[in-house]
Amino acid sequence: MLKYNHKLKQRAKEMRKHATPQENKLWYNFLRRHPCPFLRQKPIDNYIVDFLCHSKKLVIEIDGNQHYTTDGIEYDSIRTNILENLGLSVLRFTNTEIDSSFREVCETIRKYLDAH
């Protein structure tokens, strides 16, 4: 059972309303209609993940530039470790990958879902 943090509910709702262009592209052009249901901006523990497929225990994160600072890399490493300890797998893609290699991103996700 995943830890749902009710304190993050309002923030998650705001994040859905103000999603990045890359999050919207992945959501509206692939995940929204995928046979495996996904949720957007889902609070888990003390984090809000970009996308969650509960049935496949998959988190998908879309990383902007702030994720590639020293602090961002450390924070993401801790966060990923916590999510993995909850039994989740985490796939990360950069904004650039969504913008320039969208088909490949979708294929990577599709292959993961088919294998699990």
Q: Residue 72: pLDDT above 80?
A: no
Q: What is the pTM of this model?
A: 0.86
Q: What pLDDT band is residue 45 in, cutting at 50, 70 and 90?
A: confident
Within 13 Å and on the Cβ side, how many CA atoms surround 69? Answer: 6
Q: Residue 3: pLDDT above 80?
A: no
The CATH class given to the 6-115 domain equals: alpha beta
For residue 10, the model assigns a pLDDT of: 84
Average pLDDT of span 22-30: 96
